[in-house]
Structure 1
């Protein structure tokens, strides 16, 4: 006859009343703690993360443009607020006039383009004539500054169109206007140092503060930053030219 044995196994971690009594008497070791699985933590889904300003700041301009056309984000309140804020920033930026080049004008344009320019716009006028090398040299510097400081208005006009019989020996001449009045007058290329460079011309123009405006801000702190930047670049240019002269002398 076969010997049948039945072994009962309770739930893992469970114990009988008898075991509990034996543990109280010290006849059995303490009952091990029941197994408890760690709490479930779902994997991070980037699309489900809250979309706040920090999330927007992590996006590049192209990604931001795509977000504006994303229909899935139309109902996100934060994005609506962002759009309002961005529109306000664009409207504020539009208030800052940007030129970015040397504008050619004629005598009949002078009053409108220079004398009647808005009071918060500084206008730099270069009087020149074609074929005069000194005019071409200064024009190169002015064109570079016009790009670097797009909120300052740079215009050029043939000297005799502006002032009849203006002598060529005074060319080139720079006139600085603000609020319809002349604020600076620089006659001849020698006004800008031994070497006419954009850095040197900028430093001279900084004597008429705040003629140079990069368009970022209009407060006093930003103006000082522009002037300090001009001075720094001028010093760096002088040092570089000095080192270049030393190298040329050594090579001879």
Structure 2
């Protein structure tokens, strides 16, 4: 007849009196602590969070669109949602350019002549390997960043105008509403020392070409020029402060 062995297991963490005595004598290791689960914390429900200003600020434009029905009963949040959407759309409109876009001859009509009537387009005709083109290109790149509501494009001169003389490079054309408003041939039309501020002043001599997108409507030429002067003064002051910091550290 087979032997059967029964193993008795008590509740986890419990011990016999004999085990307790042996532990006191050091013959057994200390009794492990009884298992105790962490307190239960239910997951936070998104819908239960208070719907305040900060809650709306953390939403994307798509999420705000989806919230229209949920906010019908709260006039304040609904109005704030509309303002946030308007701000987001304004930022997108302002930042629609912001750099010089390379185009080819086949792109010219679409990108320049057919640009929206409220958009000024600055076109630079250039060729690689001409230092004067590089100098003016750097100035225009800085202006494109500062005035993201003005469109800047660059095109190789002979792609734009066949047999265009290299001696006329760089050339800048200014377009608005499908028409040429100004043209500047050669680097020195922007002054003996070509700087972004000098180029900006020349571009805005007759029209408000540069637009930073901060105004609701089209700014006047005087307002744009005043903004250019203000930026120039701020840049000079900043450069002087940096120079002073550098000299003091020496």
Normalising by structure 2, we get a TM-score of 0.63
Deviation at 1:217, TM superposition (A): 1.4
Deviation at 1:208, TM superposition (A): 3.5
Q: Which moved more, 1:171-180 or 1:228-237?
A: 228-237
What whole-Å deviation, never above 9, does each CA across 1:176-223 have from its counterpart, x for those lacking one?
Answer: 001111001000000010111000000001114111000111435576
Deviation at 1:77, TM superposition (A): 3.1
1:64 and 2:57 aligned: yes
1:77 and 2:70 aligned: no
Counterpart mapping for 1:127-146 below 5 A: 127-146=125-144
Q: Is the 8 A contact 1:199 1:230 kept in 2?
A: yes
1:191 and 2:189 aligned: yes
- Among 169, 177, 182, the residue aligned to 2:167: 169
Q: Is the 8 A contact 1:203 1:234 kept in 2?
A: no
Secondary structure in structure 2 of the residue aligned to 1:225:
helix
Gaps of 5+ in 2: 1-50, 240-250
Whole-Å Cα distance in 2 between the matches of residues 121 and 100 of structure 1?
Answer: 13
State how many pairs are aligned: 184
1:210 and 2:191 aligned: no
Q: Which structure is larger by alpha-carbon Rg, 1 or 2?
A: 1
Counterpart mapping for 1:1-252 below 5 A: 56=53, 64-65=57-58, 76-91=74-89, 94=92, 98-219=96-217, 224-234=222-232
Q: Is the 8 A contact 2:127 2:156 kept in 1?
A: yes
Q: Is the 8 A contact 1:173 1:187 kept in 2?
A: yes
Structure 1 residues 133, 147: closer, same or farther in 2, change over 3 A? same
Normalising by structure 1, we get a TM-score of 0.63
Q: Is the 8 A contact 2:206 2:221 kept in 1?
A: no
**Root mean square deviation, CA, Å:** 3.3
